[in-house]
A and B are shown apart, each in its own frame.
Chain A
Amino acid sequence: MTAIPAEYGLVLASVLFMLGLISLLIRRNIVFMLISVEIMLNAAGLAFIVAGSRWGQADGQVMFLFILTMAAAEVSVGLALILQIYHQLKTLNSDEASKMKG
């Protein structure tokens, strides 16, 4: 089994990251924005894995486990917040939820 060159993995991670970022910027629905954030997190995790395999060390996988845990926590908090926002504002549109205007 030949190793996949690190560049390929990194390019895939960047593409994933950019996709997540762009969808985060163009989406108005908060649920989709949360999903976009998940994609970006996974892109970052992929970059760690690739880097770990490139240098043959376990640090990258350890970092990915951290990211996984954090993502789970983030989703639970994020979903709870989304529920509250919907409960109070009757909308999931982030542009309409602009009560914090200074």
Chain B
Amino acid sequence: MSDLLWLIPVLPFAGSLILIVAGTRLPKPLVPVIGAGSVGLSALITLLIGIDFISQETSPVINQVLWQWIDVAGFSPAFAFHLDSLSLAFIFVITFVGFLIHVYSAEFMSDDEGYARFFAFLNLFVGSMLILVLADNLLLLYFGWEGVGLCSYLLIGFWYQEEKNGYAARKAFIITRVGDTAMAIGLFMIFKTFGNVNIMEIQNQAPNVWAMGSQEATLIALLLLGGAVGKSAQLPLQSWLPDAMAGPSPVSALIHAATMVTAGVYLIARTHVIFELAPTAQFVVGVIGAVTLLIAGFSALTQYDLKRVLAYSTISQIGYMFLALGVGAWSSAIFHFMIHAFFKALLFLAAGAVIMALHHEHDMFKMGGLRKKLPVIYWTFLIGAASLAALPLITAGFYSKDQILWLAWAGEKGNIWFFLAALVGAFITAIYTFRMVFLTFFGAEKTHVSHVPGSLINIPLIILAALSTIAGFIEVPHSFGHLQLFTDFLNPLLPATTMQPGIESTEWMIQLLAAVLSIGGALLAYYFYVMRPTLHTQIKSAVPQVHNFFQLGWRFDSLYDWVFVKPFVYLSNINKNDFVDWPYNSLVNVTGFISRMFAFTQSGILRWYLIGIVLGAILILTLGLLI
């Protein structure tokens, strides 16, 4: 069964190839069959391999070498896949959530001209993402990493006729490129140290090569972190993600919430050995996570656009994952990634359905009263929102976020500041989540519902809603039940977090605090947006600067404009006539001059040519006579 591993990434690539080559000529009903079918088959194979994987006693590792990629002077990365519990968790989410989103897109995009193009890009993305998580060496991982970046660019700018979409696509591509450059340098340094790029060998050798806290390990870890920060939209490279919402909603769900943006989390978890040897870098990961989750949370509180709220909340939730990585709670980060993929994909898809139902209305303040009109969307969105806000006991988000909160407090590398940031973040999350729910689905109806979504949209939503609830029960905390299926599943690969001694007894207090805060946040949102709907406009007009500051994402765009763009444009204006160009321009001028001279002789008058021939003949004869 494990021999079929290579089929998992190859199937989406094949689907993409067929759609690129023959997409416009295929009959329309066949397009989603190929697009969703290829990913569906991948999901099926993943399921079979997964069952095989879990049923074995010792957790197995599958290696599959397809072919030797490069072989130059001892540098010989192979085109090889490596499946262990970490990559299995990722390919499970990618293929299953990906498949549901493909099914949803079959209806959502059905009126679009670029129907085949959309599925081709989506398949290409799924294939690249699978390469990324299955790669057994860092070079192949980087290949997938750039592949998903390309697809992200193509899909953000999918509706390229509008200029601002193209701008958003370029912004995403260029900002992630900053991180990718750092990551590439990190990979070069890894190769220089170890002489190869195979992940497993690096993991085995790293503790022998570097001492604890060695400078080189710290530098490499920080460079890898740079790549992760760019891809996962964390501080200071977070500003591309809210603009990436220019793409169609299924793209936001698949790429900019569920899978691609968590590639950074995967990278750090995959190279966790290096981060463990570099405590400073690991601490920086935690700090970045903590700060980002707060910044993005405050921004999410003030957005009007439904999708932008979700975008900021994605940044914030990935901040939680980084925080977990920073305190060494590796499996909690991956667990939160999985749960987050379920509920955030659900929220984006439901938001997309709402926006489609209201004739592309994005502004939440123009929505309202959709509870009765769109009951399926309302209930699934509510379940997703409850999971995002981590309402206690019934939602999956509670179990995953609670673990992070607890380990930020009790873990050996945790501290009170990480814990407080996570706690405040949880409170804000509950407020903005339920603000979204109340504004969209409660109150008076402000825009007429023009289109009620059909079953291809409803069924994926219901499945994701079910997953957002029950997936949490595979990890139940110590204080009630103590079930650790997911952690045990990852355990041999990702070590358990070391706890501070004698702290176990306080766990129920932390849980109670988190539960009170999330319910409190939801009630506060109810008070603000349902009971006293005028209150928030009063606050907004009382402190407009603060509101705008948060709404524009803490003005990071203006800051980067001032620090990077403006000086660059200024300098390039000064050096418009680049002196380096001078020799080349002169060469062009001389060539042009000679060319014009010769062109002048080409007068088109026959007798001039005759005179030329005669004079030439006389010249040659004269020379012949003289010499």
Contacts and interface: CB of A to CB of B under 8 A. Distances in A.
B603 to A, nearest CB: 6
B599 A102 contact: yes
A25 B610 contact: yes
B626 interface: no
Nearest to A30: B606
A37 to B, nearest CB: 10
A100 B604 contact: yes
Interface stretch (A51-59, A71-79, A90-98): A90-98
Contacts of A33: 606
A94 B606 CA distance: 6
Interface in B573-621: 598-607, 610-611, 614
How many chain B residues sit at the interface, stated as a range, is 10 to 19
A87 interface: no
A91 to B, nearest CB: 13
A98 B603 contact: yes
Contacts of A25: 607, 610-611, 614
Contact of A98 (B605, B610, B611): B605
Contacts of B603: 98, 101-102
Contacts of B601: 102
Nearest to B617: A21
B12 to A, nearest CB: 56
A24 interface: yes
A100 B603 CA distance: 7
B602 to A, nearest CB: 3
Q: Is the interface of A mostly helix, strand, loop or mixed?
A: loop
Contacts of B610: 24-25
Given A21-B614, A25-B611, A25-B614, A97 B606 contact: yes
A20 B599 CA distance: 29
A100 B600 CA distance: 12
Nearest to A95: B605
A98 B607 CA distance: 10
Contacts of A101: 602-604
B598 to A, nearest CB: 8
Contacts of A21: 614
B607 A100 contact: no
A69 B425 CA distance: 100
B604 A102 contact: yes
Contact of B604 (A24, A28, A98): A98
Interface string B533-568: 000000000000000000000000000000000000
Nearest to B598: A102
Which of B600, B603, B606, B611 is packed against the most chain A CB atoms within 10 Å? B606
Contacts of B614: 21, 25
Contacts of A97: 604, 606
Contacts of A95: 605-607
A91 B599 CA distance: 25
A97 B609 CA distance: 13
A99 B604 CA distance: 6
Contacts of B606: 30, 33, 94-95, 97
A21 B614 CA distance: 9
Contacts of B604: 97-102
A101 B600 CA distance: 8
Contacts of A100: 602, 604
Contacts of A94: 605-607
A30 B607 CA distance: 10
Interface string A5-29: 0000000000000000100110010
A33 B217 CA distance: 88
B607 to A, nearest CB: 6
B613 to A, nearest CB: 10
Nearest to A102: B602
Contacts of B605: 94-95, 98
Nearest to B600: A102
A59 to B, nearest CB: 22
Contacts of A99: 604
B424 to A, nearest CB: 77
Which of B600, B605, B611, B614 is packed against the most chain A CB atoms within 10 Å? B605
Interface in A26-85: 28, 30, 33
B180 to A, nearest CB: 50
A47 B602 CA distance: 33
Contacts of A102: 598-604
A24 B606 CA distance: 10
A101 B603 CA distance: 5
B98 to A, nearest CB: 61
Which of A95, A100, A102 is packed against the most chain B CB atoms within 10 Å? A102
Nearest to A28: B607
A25 B599 CA distance: 22
Nearest to B606: A94
A96 to B, nearest CB: 9
A61 B578 CA distance: 70
Nearest to A27: B607
A100 B602 CA distance: 8
A102 B614 CA distance: 21
A33 B606 CA distance: 10
Contacts of B611: 25
A8 to B, nearest CB: 22
Contacts of B602: 100-102
Which of B602, B603, B607 is packed against the most chain A CB atoms within 10 Å? B607
A33 B609 CA distance: 13
Interface in B73-97: none
A20 B602 CA distance: 24
A78 to B, nearest CB: 12
A28 B608 CA distance: 12
A59 B212 CA distance: 100
A94 B610 CA distance: 12
A98 B608 CA distance: 11
B593 to A, nearest CB: 15
Closest 9 pairs (CB-CB, A-B)? A102-B602, A98-B604, A101-B604, A102-B599, A94-B606, A100-B604, A98-B605, A95-B605, A25-B610
5 contacts: A25-B607, A25-B614, A33-B606, A94-B607, A102-B604
Given A95-B605, A98-B604, 16 more contacts: A21-B614, A25-B610, A25-B611, A28-B607, A33-B606, A94-B605, A94-B607, A95-B607, A98-B603, A98-B605, A100-B602, A100-B604, A101-B603, A101-B604, A102-B601, A102-B603
